[in-house]
Amino acid sequence: MHQGKFVFAQVMDHVVRYEFNQGVERRRGHRWMKRFSCWEQFLVMAFGQLAGRESLRDAVVCLTAHHEKLYHIGFRTTLARTTVAYANEQRDWRIWSDFAQVLIVQARVLYLDDPTFTLDLDGAVYILDATTIDLCLSVFPWAHFRTTKSAVKLNMALEAHGNIPSFFDISNGNVHDVHFLDRIDYEVGAHYVMDRGYIDFVRLYTIHRVGALFVIRAKDNLACRRLYSSCVDKTTGVRCDQIIRFTGAKTAVSYPEKLRRVKYYDLETDQIYVFLTNDLTTDATTIAALYKYRWQIELFFKWIKQHLKIKSFWGYSANAVKTQICIAICTYLIVAIMKKRLNIDRSMYEILQILSVSLFDKTPINTLVSEYDLQKVDDRVQKLPFLFDS
């Protein structure tokens, strides 16, 4: 007799199936395949992510080894690798991109008061960056990057509260990062933190006109005129706080408004940084601290590449690659949502490691993750592993 739910089914219970089905209908997900549903496709791919499988065949073999249990975790049809591969090739990858946005809305509410972000700001803070995922040129010739290799680029806006992806987009590796700014719906009063790769004053002026705020690192050859300076306390690291106007022939036209220029000396790196922002009221030290949070997205990219399956792909078409990346992000978000709802006091890394070997257990997840003492980490260890501990 079947008693209790398998761990994998408990994890998937955090998905609102009504919202999932709405997205499938909107993208006509069952247009080409009637028997193998989008939900079953998602279950296979999410299982592969949670179980740490190295290939699609690997994931399907592991599932079919437990064929008598598949009905209880949501499968209604016979599972075959070719069926899943065909679904990844044919079904619109935007189904999973849309579903990720649904999960993002749920996660943002849960992580709104997350203690990892300590700055006192009224609006949300988004960190923008991109990471390149290298591919083999002979296998993925469609992913144009360089003459010697292919790549896709994962562009992302990461919310500083809880390190939750807010919006993401996938493009070919040769598409410049700055084009990502054209695909973002900006929030009034929110801060957008970027590095120098996003300097385009036409696009930055668009952010300003919407009513959003940006913090971006300036290039060395910036042509500008100082209008006036504010008094600063150099013991905080701030070297100058100025209001400027651009004097370059193109930049003065592209961004005709006043802008703020903050120069900051970082004692840890022994380096001077110059920031540009349209936020004229926030304290200069806070502006510098905002840019420091940009490092969170670098660590997020490093983390997902290490712990999710987005470096070796289970299909060769653009649709299959994008499907795998989107479902990997969906899986991360589901676990992050579950972590908050169940008040699990473990890092995301520990949760994923426990789930990877327990997906067909029937132990309640709260009991499963609390059977052992939390990992004791030496305070002298470098800071990187702590970013996802909360």
Q: Could you read off the pLDDT of 224-243 as tens digits, one per residue?
A: 999 999 998 889 999 999 99
Residue 3 in this model has a pLDDT that exceeds 60: no
Per-residue pLDDT for 2 more than 70? no
Assess whether pLDDT exceeds 90 at residue 324: yes
> What pLDDT is recorded for position 371?
64
Mean pLDDT for 72-101 is: 94
Supply the pLDDT for residue 35.
87
Higher-pLDDT residue of 3 and 187 is 187
90 in the same domain as 12: yes
**Does some domain include residue 51?**
yes
Unique residue bearing structure tokens 């919310």: 159
Q: Which of residues 261, 283, 305 is at a domain's end?
A: 283
Q: Let me know if residue 62 belongs to a domain.
A: yes
* CA distances from residue 237 to 52, 211, 234, 266, 279 in whole angstroms, order as listed: 44, 29, 5, 6, 19
How large is the average pLDDT for residues 29-42?
89
21 Cβ contact list (under 8 Å, min separation 6): 39
In the sheet that holds 150-159, the strands lie side by side as: 164-172, 150-159, 125-135, 191-194, 213-217, 271-277, 259-266, 238-246, 224-230
Instruction: Mark which of 239, 263, 283 sits at the end of a domain.
Output: 283
Q: Are residues 276 and 321 in the same domain?
A: no
Residue 297 CA to residue 291 CA, distance in Å, equals 11
Q: How many percent of the chain have pLDDT more than 90?
A: 78
DSSP three-state, residue 188: coil
Task: Judge if 87 and 31 occupy the same domain.
Answer: yes
Whether 90 and 35 map to the same domain: the answer is yes
In this predicted structure, the answer to whether residue 388 has a pLDDT above a threshold of 80 is no
Q: DSSP characters for 223-275?
A: -EEEEEEE---GGGTEEEEEEEEE-STTHHHH--S-EEEEEEEETTTTEEEEE
- Per-residue pLDDT, 121: 87
Residue 166 in contact with residue 185, Cβ under 8 Å? no
Regarding whether 279 and 319 lie in a shared domain, the answer is no
The pLDDT of residue 298 is 93
In a domain, 154, yes or no: no
* Same domain? 255 vs 319: no
How many separate domains does the chain show?
2
Q: Is residue 291 a part of any domain in this protein?
A: no
Among residues 283, 303, 328, which one ends one of the domains?
283
Q: Are 168 and 130 in contact (CB under 8 A)?
A: no
Quick check: 73 pLDDT over 70? yes
Same domain, 266 and 328: no
Structure tokens at 101: 């946005």
Return the number of other C-beta atoms located less than 10 Å from residue 265's C-beta: 15
Residue 307 domain-assigned (yes or no): no
* Cβ atoms of 143 and 320 closer than 8 Å: no
- Fill in the DSSP letter of residue 180: G
**Same-domain pairing of 253 and 205:** yes
Q: What is the pLDDT of residues 249-285, one digit of tens each?
A: 899 999 999 999 999 998 888 899 999 999 999 999 9
Please give the pLDDT value at position 116. Answer: 78
Q: Say what the pTM is.
A: 0.90
* 120 within a domain of the structure (yes/no): no
CB contact set of 240 (below 8 Å; sequence gap of 6+): 229, 232, 261, 262, 263
**Structure confidence by residue, pLDDT tens digits, 108-153:** 999 888 777 888 888 899 999 999 999 999 999 999 998 889 999 9
Residue 19 lies in a domain: yes
- Residue 202 lies in domain: 196-283
Report the candidate in 10, 6, 20 with the shortest Cα–Cα distance to residue 70: 6
* 1 has pLDDT over 70: no
Residue 172 near residue 145, CB atoms below 8 Å? yes
201 and 278 co-located in one domain? yes
Residue 252 included in any domain:
yes
Residue 374 pLDDT more than 90?
no
- Mean pLDDT calculated for residue range 325-341: 95
